[in-house]
Amino acid sequence: MTEQHRSAAGGLIGKRVPVLDKGWIELQDVMGDDMAIVSAARVSFMGESKGDEKDKRLLFRLLKDHHTSPFEQVEFKFRVRAPVVTWWQWVRHRTWQFNAQSGRYTPFEENDFYLPDTWRKQSPSNKQASRGALTDEEGAPFSAAALAHFEEGYRLYRAALDAGIARELARVYLPGFAVYYTWVCKVDAHNLMHFLRLRMAADAQYEIRVYAQAIYEHYFKPALPWTAEAFEKFILQPDAETASPT
């Protein structure tokens, strides 16, 4: 199983998944697999693999009983292109390590802006949530206005650059929450599960939920199939049957 795990994880490196209108996620590296978690747990008493059935049962028991330190032995590194409206949520997870594209060094492109495909309505009962959406007809004027706003902001940005204004100041003309940035992000499997639990939830903001779902479906589950199965059973569905796997 160890070689199968490693083969699955290795085959994911370089895979890019599109998200939102112009965003994407790309796995740059992964360290460890399900067996790395099992081995980290067994080092406490200098044990080794006892076969797939017992190894998987141990991993399930670790997650069920919240023995989370062995899951920190696996790490993922992503390259992510997302708008500021997404990053504003993401950086609250301080267990991630980030390196971001800098508008001081590289100029922005004309199409580096996020345009929602649906204009959601404000929830009347939750100050930080949305509920329902405008129809396409109702939303069309807002999409047109957003595009005009992007075009004018970018025109002023380019004019400032052409006039010799520093990039670090010229970017004040860009629509702040809509502009796309590319970041490199690293996290261990334990803290990634915490991120996924919160950001895949139905009440998470859509612009980060779609990134969390992409990470889980395209990278986490294929790289850590046992961990993903236990995660769904004990964390995403804690009220489900909690018996150890057979």
**Is the Cβ–Cβ distance between 82 and 211 less than 8 Å?**
yes
Query: Is 199 annotated as catalytic?
Result: yes
Name the active-site residue from 81, 171, 199, 209.
199
d(CA 50, CA 38) in angstroms, rounded, equals 10
Q: SS3 breakdown of the chain: % helix, strand, coil, rounded to 5?
A: 50, 20, 35
End-to-end CA distance of the chain: 17
Residue 132: left if φ>0, alpha if ψ -120 to 50, beta else—which one?
Answer: left
CA angle 239-70-229, nearest 5°? 35
Residue 204 burial by Cβ neighbours in a 10 Å radius (0-12, 13-18, 19+) = middle
Strand (E) or helix (H) holding 154: helix 136-162
**Is the Cβ–Cβ distance between 186 and 76 less than 8 Å?**
yes
Per the document, the length of the chain is 246
d(CA 181, CA 86) in angstroms, rounded, equals 10
Residue 114: left if φ>0, alpha if ψ -120 to 50, beta else—which one?
Answer: beta
Q: Catalytic site residues?
A: 199
